[in-house]
Amino acid sequence: MPTDSPSSGLPSPGRRAVLGAAAAATVLAGLPGTASAAPAEGRQPVRKRPRALPGGGDLGPNVVVFDPSTPNIQGRLDEIFRQQESAQFGTGRYQLLFKPGTYHGLNAQIGFYTSISGLGLSPDDTTINGDITVDAGWFNGNATQNFWRSAENLAVVPVNGTNRWAVSQAAPFRRMHVRGNLNLAPTGYGWSSGGYIADSRIDGQVQPYSQQQWYTRDSAIGGWLNGVWNMVFSGVEGAPAQGFPNPPYTTLTTTPVSREKPFLYLSGNEYRVFLPEKRTNARGVTWGSGTPRGTSLPLTRFYVAKPGVSAATLNQALAEGLHLLLTPGIYHLDRPIRVDRAGTVVLGLGYATLIPDNGVTALRVADVDGVRLAGFLIDAGPVNSPTLLEIGPAGASRDHSANPTTVQDVFIRIGGAGPGKATTSMVVNSRHAIVDHTWVWRADHGDGVGWETNRADYGVVVNGHDVLATGLFVEHFNKYDVQWFGERGRTIFFQNEKAYDAPNQAAIQNGSIKGYAAYRVGDNVTSHEGWGLGSYCYYNVDPTIVQHHGFAAPNRPGVRFHDLLVVSLGGNGQYERVINDTGAPTSGTSTVPSTIVSYP
């Protein structure tokens, strides 16, 4: 398929369309070069230490800040949307920030790589009387490629009573207050495929319509209209009752552990970053009554990075005790970013994108407490990286239960914007880590896409014990999409598609097993649990391919699954079983899921 960019026109509605159809400059201080004083006779040159990097500073040209008195807000919003509406693999990155206050008559249409956020401590501090809209006019009413955009920390009073947020993967809706209904489908109720809501209050009804799968966490809703295949709720006041598979609702009363994403806000005229505290057995929003619980850091504690800064400078800032705020843009890395200090925050704005060059790993976290990674995209480079993101070193074993590392709205892409390769995308070695909403995607369309062109064997590998994943989207890997070797792992919501482009049955043969499971629990694991997991196949190159199962796990009492499904999209490939050797095969061309309510 052609690259989707502002100049390339509409992409042809390929594989994702079928999926839907099946369902119905002050801080840019680099490391100075080593300088030498003129040596006196008989003395060695004196090397100067790199000067300390400054904290704080301006947020750069692609962070656009509005207040209620800003002239022609709508015009600026429309200008950015025209640029980003169809720029699926473009280079533009934007963060829209609204200062506390009330805004009237706005329709903020949100395109690719655009984040819109309020700057209050509570969503209700910043109210838009209008709409924050995602639709799919750019793609003929098909929302299955509405990726990489977000809304956060705002109250919205929709003009007609219903706000439209028609998205698929990597498009979080966090810490929002919709004073009305929320429609998750595009105009005309065309195709849409997946999404995520957290820490939000929807006063009216959430209306998924064509959404095939969705995860909602720690929120409050006035009602939920329908479900297609896989609607999962944890800690949601007003959630529908458990009903899987008919209706397809998986409902947990609480979320075992959660800690909301860090966010930028204004205290007077000072920018700060709020760090919400950890909750156990969480339910409902964090901001419903008074100031949210947590701590905050002034922007002066952050190195405010701009595109073009080197990895050496980012590491110098971290070594000097600064946190990182990645402003919108693309960052090429010739070495890994190393997060070695407990409590470090790496926060991206406007889908700041890290590209590792020459096969390096983009970011590595030490075995320390309380690191928070949030709000950025890692895009694989053309030289194969063994890994792209490492949470803890191999063999990490420290107890982080009191202050875990969190990975939130951190997305990984291999191919699509150009050739990219990585053997394993994300490795989680640290104990008690929380992976809260990620989309790890080997591209199935765009530029640099092919079975070997964007080769990526493994999506997510979890070696650490006591890891929790809430909202895990992993798709299209050449072999296993998820492998889980740590003990006491838990996943609430998993969405997967197997690689579309396998050339033939032999290409996916896994020893004596037909195909690699989407989600595999290691043979030696004694305790694991998952709720609301789905895997889909659409083998469009060779529709005769057979996948034995979507899920593989040791058959023992401590390894438990609830509400599993597999589905063949239009009969392009088939599953023989759901998990291990259990479950009915998929049903020909009818695109009816095969389900398991409880395993074993």
Amino acid at 191: W
Q: Is 542 exposed, middle or buried (0-12, 13-18, 19+ CB in 10 A)?
A: middle
Encode pLDDT of 455-489 as tens digits.
999 999 999 999 999 999 999 999 999 999 999 99
Query: What's the rounded mean pLDDT across residues 383-394?
Result: 98
Asked whether the beta carbons of 361 and 390 are under 8 A apart, the reply is: yes
Residue 19: per-residue pLDDT? 45
Dihedral class, residue 302 (left if φ above 0, else alpha if ψ from -120 to 50, else beta) = beta
E strands, 10-89, are 63-66
Is residue 5 pLDDT above 80, yes or no? no
CA dihedral 579, 583, 584, 586 (to 10 degrees): -30
Residue 43: pLDDT band by 50, 70, 90 thresholds? Answer: very low
Residue 50: pLDDT band by 50, 70, 90 thresholds? Answer: low
Range 436-455 burial, b when 16+ CB lie within 10 A, else e = bbbbbbbbbbbbbbebeebb
Query: SS3 for 113-179, per residue?
Result: CEEEEECCCCHHHEEEEEEEEECCHHHCCCCCCCCCEEEECCEEECCCCEEEECCCCCCCEECCEEC
Question: In whole angstroms, what is the distance from residue 581 CA to residue 575 CA?
Answer: 11
Asked whether the beta carbons of 585 and 597 are under 8 A apart, the reply is: no
Beta bridge partners of 282: 255
User: Can you give the length of the chain in residues?
Assistant: 600
Asked whether the beta carbons of 66 and 73 are under 8 A apart, the reply is: yes
Asked whether the beta carbons of 327 and 305 are under 8 A apart, the reply is: yes
Count of CB atoms situated within 10 Å of the CB of 421: 21
Closest C-alpha to 136, from 166, 160, 114: 166
Amino acid at 559: V
Query: What's the rounded mean pLDDT across residues 290-307?
Result: 95
Asked whether the beta carbons of 579 and 559 are under 8 A apart, the reply is: no
Query: SS3 for 500-527, per residue?
Result: CCCCCHHHHEECCEECCCCEEECCCCCC
Asked whether the beta carbons of 530 and 508 are under 8 A apart, the reply is: no
- Backbone angles phi and psi of 575, in degrees to 5: -100, 135
Question: In whole angstroms, what is the distance from residue 172 CA to residue 193 CA?
Answer: 13
Question: In whole angstroms, what is the distance from residue 198 CA to residue 217 CA?
Answer: 5
Question: In whole angstroms, what is the distance from residue 73 CA to residue 269 CA?
Answer: 20
Query: SS3 for 348-387, per residue?
Result: EEEEEEEEECCCCCCEEECCCCCCEEEEEEEECCCCCEEE
Identify the residue with better confidence: 44 or 300.
300
Residue 288: per-residue pLDDT? 86
3-state helix, strand, coil in the chain (%, to 5): 5, 40, 50
497 is catalytic: yes
- Which residue do the tokens 């070193």 mark? 393
- Locate 5 and state its tokens: 């960019």
Residue 290: per-residue pLDDT? 73
Question: In whole angstroms, what is the distance from residue 46 CA to residue 74 CA?
Answer: 57
- Which residue do the tokens 């009216």 mark? 204
Is residue 27 pLDDT above 60, yes or no? no
Residue 47: pLDDT band by 50, 70, 90 thresholds? Answer: low
Question: In whole angstroms, what is the distance from residue 19 CA to residue 497 CA?
Answer: 10
Residue 221: pLDDT band by 50, 70, 90 thresholds? Answer: very high
Average pLDDT, the chain: 92
Catalytic pick from 85, 152, 390, 497? Answer: 497
Q: Which helix (H) or strand (E) holds 489?
A: strand 489-497
Query: What's the rounded mean pLDDT across residues 271-280?
Result: 98
Query: What's the rounded mean pLDDT across residues 392-398?
Result: 97
Is residue 567 pLDDT above 70, yes or no? yes
Amino acid at 271: Y
Query: What's the rounded mean pLDDT across residues 389-413?
Result: 98
- Locate 364 and state its tokens: 């590595």
